[in-house]
Structure 1
Amino acid sequence: MISFAITVFLSAFLLFQIQPIIAKMILPWFGGSSSVWSTCLVFFQAGLLLGYLYVHLLHEWLSPRRQNVVHCALLLLSLATLPVIPDDALKGAAFASPTLNVLLVLASAVGMPYVLLSTTGPLMQAWYARSFASLMPYRLYALSNLASMLALLSYPLLVEPYLVDREQALIWSGAYVLFVVACFASTWQSWKGVSGERERTAAATATDPRPAVGECLIWVGLAMTASLLLLALTRHLTQDVAPVPFLWVLPLSIYLLSFILCFDAPRYYYRPGFLLALPLAFVAIDRVLDGAGMPVPMLVSVLSVSLFVICMVCHGELVRRRPPVRHLTLFYLMLSIGGALGGSFVGLVAPALFNAYFELPIGLFLCALLVVIVLWRELRPLWRGLVVAALVAYTCRLTAISIGYVEDYRRVLRNFYGQLRVAEVNEPPLGIRRSIVHGRINHGEQFIGEAHRREPTAYYCRQSGIGQLLQSLADGPPLHIGIVGLGTGTLAAYGRRGDEMRIYEINEQVLELARQDFSYLADSAARIVPVLGDGRLMLEADPDQNFDVLVVDAFSGDSIPTHLLTIEAIRTYLRQMKPDGVLAVHITNRYLDLRPVLAGAARHFGMKALAVELDPDDDDRFCRHSLWVLLARPERAEALRRSLDNAGKLAPRPGFALWTDGFSNLIGILK
């Protein structure tokens, strides 16, 4: 048992430790979008499905010792794919088809080791059950989920803060070699454990009736629902807060915790209690979807507890319906099919099919429906009527929420980079105010009437840090301005005749909206040069631009992607600027305090950082709260400090570690 337990534990730990490692490594290649993690999860679940299918076919078609030989041969082949470091040559094609390219990068970097790791849990359980005629293998599954959860939780707490990405990948590759050695030891135990008598015992268990198709569909449905809601709720967190590893691994850890509790000891699934808690979880999620403002700790807690209740119900019902050990591999195959279907629906189908985030209401409806189906035979006629009435009422509520996603918006668009909505509000006497909303975050606005259409607004108004900076340069020679992140194109309002504004934007739908629904670009006196692609990668590829001002204003949800704030990124910005140029970074954020990041970077490059925070009056229609950081050479920074309102020196935080492409830690800057 010890040999099998060590192999299962190590494989599961590595299986889930590689997920945040590799996802964080490729996140900058795709603009820091929260969709990168959703697409990664699709790949991971597809890898699990392929691994479980391999185990099921191996278990059904080959004798135990032939299984040993085939699996050991594949393990040896997988060593040739190490180390698990993505090839930089794949960066170039990232934007042609980002979803497909995420999958291709993952397949080339970790494909074979990941699939073989995914086979270990069910394969070791099948070998253990066949060799030793024991009913213990289901507890090995709980052990594997415990290892998975430990791997995920240890990453943001013990791995990410202390090791750069490349070191993480190299250490993981070394640990994979140890796993192969452990797996060979377990294979040898299985080889010795097989005897004619035991094989006859195993054959005798084949008389257990094969599960019905309807039962298999229920297994698939329960697993799919839990997976679908895991990804949908994770997307909600990472888009509206930040696409960071901690918010990736927390929901996935909760998902795995429910597996551990349900499979290790079914008594942990206290059915009456969790079934009563399920409607409360639906109500809590409803409050979040309804736009109730919550501090980030409360928001994370509400969604986490709700996800835990939903996963406990889905996985608890799965355990109640698990088959005899003879059909163990079929059971796990159905679970992996359900997980892959749920992940694919959120990560692949929904962005292509829907223009809004309808997958979360759909997942909640499926969860409620499946619970009704599972309980139907146990309910008395009166309760059946009440349950159906409750399901109909909840369906109507979810339909109303879904309609609210698109109702009363001028435009609603969606692609890999998220959902964009164009909203309009009449604000007398100024008239119609039109804005772009990404998720729940306002990414720019404009008054449409002729009297105010050229007036910069929101985070870019004349009193903001960037507004004051550009106005202070208005009496000088023509400017060459670089802008990373377009939004509505508000900064074009500051453009003068002779100025050139080179604007980098990763999402072509944003450029489409800025041209068709807003007029800042068309009205600007400056020459506007749009460049499609990730701002940092495009700046790295561009010839020297000699910008007078370079503005970094690219947001994914409520946060600037981390790869735009590293030392390497800022070095690229400075290379594209004049020696006396100013780097202006927009860091307005509800949840993260990015000032230490930029203060540390300024000191690293021998520059000074100024923070310009604007907190306008409630009756100010043109300005929103904003925080800008301006980086410049010391003498230039001092002159700016004297000429700008509310400009204060930004001192580095003692002991704060600089962000690099290989290291960034967002837990240390949570507000």
Structure 2
Amino acid sequence: MILPWFGGSAAVWTTCMLFFQAVLLFGYLYAYGAVRLLKPKAQSAVHVLLLFASVLLLPIVPGTGWKPTGTEDPSLRILLLLLATVGLPYFTLSATSPLLQAWYARTHEGAVPYRLFALSNAGSMLGLLSYPVLVEPYFAVQRQAAGWSAAFLVFCLLCGAAAVLCAGKGKEDAAPQAIPQGGEDMEKPVTGTMLLWTALAACASALLLAVTNHLTQNVAAIPFLWVLPLTLYLLSFILCFSVEGRYRRIFYLPLLAAALGGMCHLLSPGYETAGLVLLIPVYAGGLFVACMVCHGELAALKPHPRHLTAFYLMISLGGATGGIFVGLVAPYGFRGYYELPAGIAACAVLATVVLYRLPSSAAHWARWRGALLLAAAAGTLALFAALGWQVRRDARGARVMERNFYGGLRVSDSGNPDSESAIRTLVHGTIYHGRQFLSPSMRRRPTAYYGPSSGIGLALRSLAGKKPRRVGVIGLGAGTIAAYGKRGDRYRFYEINPLVIRFADTEFSFLRDTEAEVEVVPGDARLSMETEPRQDFDLLAVDAFSGDSIPVHLLTREAFGVYFRHLKDRGVLAVHVSNKYLDLKPVVRLAALSMGKEAVTVETEDDPANAWYGSTWILISGGRALFDFPPLKEAGKPLAARENVGLWTDEYSNLFRILK
């Protein structure tokens, strides 16, 4: 619902995860305080009031006033937006799980409430997996919000009834019988144990977000790669807390060594463009094994149910700590994506600590404990050395490298500086966003996806007779398109990422070298165009991908309506749809048809000699002048329909159906 407002970057997902982890912490803190300080009837009364207050905030639909208005970092706005809309309902949900388990343990002597924790995670996983398959494809966003609100109302009624029933049952000071394996001791857990609870939860949480960031930024921002890591994270909770014995050190610790080593190896040079067949199993499998170790050790350390809420409080504190590290510390403290290497190293250290502090009761394990500790320590040191080498390598190979909310950018030079082939490249993740020859005689040449035979090149050439030309470009990159500018032309770029604007100005010279008048509008392109006067563009290019991620809000029917409002009657809309994993052509075709326009696609191959990349552009217009242009007649091809793809709107989109 809010993803389109903030540029569609993976950091929106990470910031949302951070919010929910933080609210989960406060929910567990409330549950802990209620159980510790209030009598059963008071606990029930307070929670019923909380349920009632949450219902008053329905439905959970943010107002348009929360849309960003400038180029400020959107993290705080996202957190405040979520707090104002879903904050209290989610706080109530998060507090309910530990409270119900505490009430269940109090009213049922000998009960094992931790299985309810596994059950709640199973429900979370069911909702996560069902959303992209059963909800998103068939229901618009507003209906989804209404449906969720109705379901939450039913939950409040059932939970309120349970609270009232539990208030009159059980002895106020009764303690359930001990549970096996780690639950025999009814004494308050020591500080060291509580810190270990927090550290294990923080490590799993940080790895979850770090792996998700790495996959979506450096592999592909496809929905499957957002859902898969969280599914595996929840599955490890379910397996470790549902039945005793699902986690065994003798099996999972050797797997952990292999998993951490495998992920570390894939971070080395040569694997940046490896296929999904290799990357997904290694990273997803490594995350699952690491989470099984962290959550398995947590399950082995679980206290007597009398201390259940304190246990959950420390777990949520760890989860929030991991989220803060990846969501806030890493983007502003690291120049590159180093949270995954840091998470891998932390997991290795934690495994060594666990081996040292918590030796197994098995005799053969105790016999080999010293050797295993030595091996674990040596492996940990080797991991640190390898990861440190990676950080130094990245720094050496980059002319400049910085990172912000929207991702990491890297500028590097290649080739002999004194030769005409020397070139400078702008990279986001593993995707090239612009190139420029360094030679004064060649630096004004258009490169990358914007060569003269590319779709955008043909479109601009078809307008050669129009003087002056007004050109709009959504997505600045290195500013390469400005190379086509002639005296009297006006080029207007829209760019959401302040780092891109700075790099285009300081590291590349396309904007300075062009003969055209150039202006750069900071902020989200669609939001800017919705509020500014009509621009009367002869051509508008949409080229706003971050890495391989797709800004869905720029490809909807409503977005195309905004574009054509700013185009002249016979103006041209050029949409860059090159993507390794998603077929965007049917989406753009339907959007063009909804506007009553014609469209053709232009595909080109790599041309290393000219520094041109293969590209796919779709050119759309309501006039025949574009399609009668001879070079385009030869290069342009009609767009084929795809039956299972529907028209994208602000209320509906489905990335699964356009997977290649």
- TM-score, with structure 1 as normaliser: 0.93
1:127 to 94, 103, 108: 103
Change beyond 3 A, Cα 1:408–1:360: same
8 Å CA contact 1:78–1:113 kept in 2: the answer is yes
Residue equivalent to 1:364: 344
8 Å CA contact 2:459–2:626 kept in 1: the answer is no
8 Å CA contact 1:85–1:109 kept in 2: the answer is yes
8 Å CA contact 2:70–2:523 kept in 1: the answer is no
Mapped to 2, the partners of 1:589 and 1:435 lie a distance apart of 19
Mapped to 2, the partners of 1:501 and 1:666 lie a distance apart of 32
Residue equivalent to 1:649: 638
Mapped to 1, the partners of 2:575 and 2:636 lie a distance apart of 14
Report the more deviating stretch, 289-298 or 356-365: 289-298
8 Å CA contact 1:240–1:440 kept in 2: the answer is yes
* Matching of residues 52-63 of structure 1 within 5 Å: 52-63=28-39
* Matching of residues 479-498 of structure 1 within 5 Å: 479-498=469-488
Mapped to 1, the partners of 2:219 and 2:379 lie a distance apart of 33
Residue equivalent to 2:20: 44
Mapped to 2, the partners of 1:486 and 1:233 lie a distance apart of 28
Residue equivalent to 1:388: 377
2:297 is the alignment partner of 1:324: no
Q: CA deviation at 1:542?
A: 1.1
8 Å CA contact 2:206–2:325 kept in 1: the answer is yes
CA displacement 1:117-169 (0-9 Å, x = unmatched): 00111110001101222332101001001000000000111111111111101
Q: CA deviation at 1:600?
A: 1.1
Extract unaligned runs of 5+ from structure 2: 179-183, 360-367
2:379 is the alignment partner of 1:401: no
Change beyond 3 A, Cα 1:170–1:489: same
8 Å CA contact 2:469–2:489 kept in 1: the answer is yes
CA displacement 1:218-250 (0-9 Å, x = unmatched): 111110000001001111122234545433222
8 Å CA contact 2:111–2:177 kept in 1: the answer is no
Report the more deviating stretch, 261-270 or 486-495: 261-270
Residue equivalent to 1:274: 252
User: Secondary structure at the residue paired with 2:86?
Assistant: helix
8 Å CA contact 2:408–2:428 kept in 1: the answer is yes
Change beyond 3 A, Cα 1:279–1:300: same
Change beyond 3 A, Cα 1:658–1:240: farther
CA displacement 1:266-304 (0-9 Å, x = unmatched): 322132221111122113312432241333354333321
CA displacement 1:318-375 (0-9 Å, x = unmatched): 1011111111111100000000000011001111211111211111111000000001
Mapped to 2, the partners of 1:120 and 1:45 lie a distance apart of 15
User: Secondary structure at the residue paired with 2:601?
Assistant: strand
Mapped to 1, the partners of 2:173 and 2:523 lie a distance apart of 62
Q: CA deviation at 1:655?
A: 4.2
Mapped to 2, the partners of 1:486 and 1:533 lie a distance apart of 11
Residue equivalent to 2:242: 264
Q: CA deviation at 1:204?
A: 9.9
Extract unaligned runs of 5+ from structure 1: 1-24
2:609 to 620, 623, 629: 620
CA RMSD of aligned residues (A): 1.8
Residue equivalent to 2:216: 238
Q: Which residue identity is paired with 2:254?
A: L
1:611 to 569, 587, 601: 601
Residue equivalent to 1:302: 282
Report the more deviating stretch, 636-645 or 626-635: 636-645
Mapped to 2, the partners of 1:94 and 1:79 lie a distance apart of 33
Mapped to 2, the partners of 1:370 and 1:203 lie a distance apart of 32
Mapped to 2, the partners of 1:347 and 1:64 lie a distance apart of 38
Residue equivalent to 2:193: 215
Q: Which residue identity is paired with 2:151?
A: A
Residue equivalent to 1:17: none
User: Secondary structure at the residue paired with 2:399?
Assistant: strand
Mapped to 2, the partners of 1:564 and 1:146 lie a distance apart of 35
Residue equivalent to 2:362: none
Q: Which residue identity is paired with 1:215?
A: T
Q: CA deviation at 1:556?
A: 1.6
CA displacement 1:396-433 (0-9 Å, x = unmatched): 01111222332221111111111111111015842421
Report the more deviating stretch, 491-500 or 280-289: 280-289
Mapped to 2, the partners of 1:262 and 1:643 lie a distance apart of 60
Change beyond 3 A, Cα 1:244–1:380: closer
Residue equivalent to 1:13: none
Mapped to 1, the partners of 2:205 and 2:63 lie a distance apart of 29
Q: Which residue identity is paired with 2:381?
A: V
Residue equivalent to 1:573: 563
Q: Which residue identity is paired with 1:181?
A: L
Residue equivalent to 1:426: 415
8 Å CA contact 2:107–2:166 kept in 1: the answer is yes
1:91 to 50, 57, 67: 67
8 Å CA contact 1:608–1:637 kept in 2: the answer is no
Percent identity over paired residues: 47
Report the more deviating stretch, 178-187 or 89-98: 89-98
Residue equivalent to 2:539: 549
Change beyond 3 A, Cα 1:240–1:663: farther
Mapped to 2, the partners of 1:669 and 1:192 lie a distance apart of 55
Q: Which residue identity is paired with 1:535?
A: A
Q: Which residue identity is paired with 1:171?
A: G
1:563 to 525, 546, 553: 553
CA displacement 1:166-217 (0-9 Å, x = unmatched): 11011000000000011012112212313xxx22423999992111111111
* Matching of residues 115-194 of structure 1 within 5 Å: 115-194=91-170
8 Å CA contact 1:230–1:307 kept in 2: the answer is yes
Residue equivalent to 1:630: 619
Q: CA deviation at 1:385?
A: 2.5
Mapped to 2, the partners of 1:657 and 1:223 lie a distance apart of 41
Change beyond 3 A, Cα 1:651–1:204: closer
8 Å CA contact 1:30–1:36 kept in 2: the answer is yes
2:334 to 350, 354, 361: 354
Structure having the higher helix fraction is 1
